[in-house]
């Protein structure tokens, strides 16, 4: 994953990268968390619907998406050319034609998140079929000047092999990326699930918008948490009293599986005990990610108390002390949440 934008820690900037009016508008709309420390990851169904409202024709804009400015590379050494086994295609016309399979060629195609969302609104299975034998790369739209990110599942559920991100744009979307790639020992490579590579006898392929059956139910119990008193100053959350922590826990994945739940807030305690259980029916557990966030309840803005994201397919049943991370993805020294996982 590569970022071509200069580093910009926009979430740490105190209003430098957001106009005051924009922040005030978000708060008025009830989006206190968005103004405080990050926008919620957009639902991929919503992204496709928004993109579909654009009345422009589904045309592939011929530009340097792959670092190719369209000029012929006459002076490139032949030995170098021979190393390139999958060449970038430069399709013209409708995007629907760009994602058609060619039985005689294997291609590499780059689409912006907007282009993918737009074509996926009506041709999702066609994209999945295209990725059976071709390489698909998704990259952030050019208007993300604040280095924010989109929902990576927009690419993953359609079989995209490369989902490029702004790695300096800290926030929930990047936390999902970190969590997804904790699989396979955190080596940076995750094998595409078989269901995204298979064609059924009737010729159909995976459709993320289909009404899929539940394969498994993940039961998550949140017992207690500790470590904030060691990693934070006594007055970090509240000046005159201990913090009021609560936990948000949920699933990121296909639209049917994506949901967030919330525990009650435990008032005035550095070692909160919640003892709450949640059940998450999963239709596609192979790519689902468990999200855990701890917040400190406040009158004006809830404070950030830690987060983690874990690939569901690699969760081990039983009681676990789950370490939490800061907004940059760095692990806290002491903060942990005691949780249990069970599959039914």
pLDDT, tens only, 264-287: 999 999 999 999 999 999 999 999
Q: How confident is the model at residue 3 (pLDDT cuts 50, 70, 90)?
A: very low
Domain end point (choices 196, 230, 255)? 196
CB of 88 closer than 8 Å to CB of 110: yes
Domain end point (choices 162, 196, 230)? 196
107 occurs within a structural domain:
yes
Whether the predicted pLDDT of 19 surpasses 70: no
Burial of 70 (C-beta count, 10 Å sphere; 0-12/13-18/19+) = exposed
Contacts of 124 (CB under 8 A, 6+ apart): 158, 207, 208, 209
- pLDDT value of position 326: 96
337 and 236: one domain? yes
62 occurs within a structural domain:
yes
Residue 275, SS3 per DSSP: strand
The CA R_g of the chain, rounded to the nearest whole Å, is 22
Q: How confident is the model at residue 67 (pLDDT cuts 50, 70, 90)?
A: very low
Which tokens sit at 335? 């903060």
- Taking the CA of residue 109 as centre, how many other CA atoms within 13 Å lie in the half-sphere pointing to its CB? 30
201 occurs within a structural domain:
no
165 and 293: one domain? no
- pLDDT value of position 83: 77
129 and 256: one domain? no
161 and 233: one domain? no
Most confident of 11-20, 87-96, 134-143: 134-143
79 occurs within a structural domain:
yes
CB of 337 closer than 8 Å to CB of 294: yes
2 occurs within a structural domain:
no
Tell me: the pLDDT tens digits for 120-131?
A: 999 999 999 999
Q: How confident is the model at residue 54 (pLDDT cuts 50, 70, 90)?
A: low
304 occurs within a structural domain:
yes
38: left (phi over 0), alpha (psi -120 to 50) or beta: left
247 and 177: one domain? no
Residue 281 phi/psi, 5-degree rounding, is -70, 135
126 and 189: one domain? yes
* Average pLDDT of the segment spanning 136-164: 93
Q: How confident is the model at residue 68 (pLDDT cuts 50, 70, 90)?
A: very low
Domain end point (choices 163, 196, 229)? 196
pTM of the model: 0.81
Write out the residue range of the structural domain in which residue 43 sits.
Answer: 20-196
User: Could you give the number of structural domains in the chain?
Assistant: 2
- Strand bridging mode 245-252 / 289-296: antiparallel
CB of 206 closer than 8 Å to CB of 131: no
176 and 222: one domain? no
275 occurs within a structural domain:
yes
Whether the predicted pLDDT of 103 surpasses 90: no
Matching residue, tokens 């990576």: 152
Tell me: the pLDDT tens digits for 216-245?
A: 999 999 999 999 999 999 999 998 999 999
Nearest to 10 by CA among 145, 212, 151: 145
Q: How confident is the model at residue 79 (pLDDT cuts 50, 70, 90)?
A: confident
Residue 26, SS3 per DSSP: helix
220 and 191: one domain? no
- pLDDT value of position 73: 56
53 and 108: one domain? yes
- Strand bridging mode 135-139 / 162-163: parallel
Q: What is the CATH number of the domain that holds 300?
A: 2.60.40.150
181 and 243: one domain? no
**Alpha-carbon span 155 to 92, nearest angstrom:** 22
93 occurs within a structural domain:
yes
CB of 210 closer than 8 Å to CB of 124: no
166 and 274: one domain? no
Cβ neighbour number for residue 266 with a 10 Å cutoff = 20
- pLDDT value of position 183: 95
- pLDDT value of position 32: 44
293 and 226: one domain? yes
How far CA 31 is from CA of 299, 302, 329, in Å, comes to: 14, 11, 23
């Amino acid at each position: 994953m590569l970022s071509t934008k200069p580093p910009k820690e926009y979430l740490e900037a105190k209003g430098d990268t957001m106009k005051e009016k924009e922040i005030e508008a978000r708060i008025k709309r009830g989006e206190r968390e968005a103004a405080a420390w990050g926008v919620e990851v957009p639902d991929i169904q919503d992204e496709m619907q928004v993109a579909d409202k654009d009345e422009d024709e589904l045309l592939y804009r011929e530009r340097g998406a792959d670092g190719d400015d369209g000029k012929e590379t006459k002076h490139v050494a032949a030995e170098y050319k021979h190393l390139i086994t999958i060449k970038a295609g430069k399709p013209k016309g409708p995007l629907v034609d760009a994602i058609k399979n060619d039985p005689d060629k294997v291609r590499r195609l780059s689409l912006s998140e907007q282009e993918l969302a737009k074509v996926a609104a009506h041709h999702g299975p066609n994209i999945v079929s295209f990725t059976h034998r071709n390489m698909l790369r998704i990259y952030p739209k050019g208007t993300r000047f604040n280095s924010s990110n989109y929902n990576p599942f927009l690419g993953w559920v359609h079989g995209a092999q490369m989902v490029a991100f702004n790695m300096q744009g800290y926030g929930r979307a990047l936390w999902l990326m970190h969590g997804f790639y904790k699989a396979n020992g955190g080596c940076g490579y995750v094998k595409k699930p078989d269901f995204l590579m298979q064609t059924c006898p009737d010729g159909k392929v995976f459709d993320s918008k289909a009404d899929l059956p539940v394969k498994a139910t993940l039961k998550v119990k949140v017992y207690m948490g500790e470590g904030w008193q060691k990693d934070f100053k006594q007055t970090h959350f509240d000046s005159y009293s201990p913090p009021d922590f609560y936990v948000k826990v949920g699933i990121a994945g296909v639209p049917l599986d994506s949901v967030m739940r919330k525990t009650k807030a435990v008032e005035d305690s550095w070692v909160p005990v919640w003892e709450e259980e949640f059940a998450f029916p999963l239709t596609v557990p192979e790519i689902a990610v468990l999200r855990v966030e701890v917040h400190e309840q406040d009158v004006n803005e809830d404070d950030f108390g830690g987060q983690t994201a874990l690939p569901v397919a690699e969760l081990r049943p039983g009681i676990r002390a789950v370490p939490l991370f800061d907004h940059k993805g760095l692990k806290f020294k002491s903060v942990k949440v005691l949780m249990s996982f069970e599959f039914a």
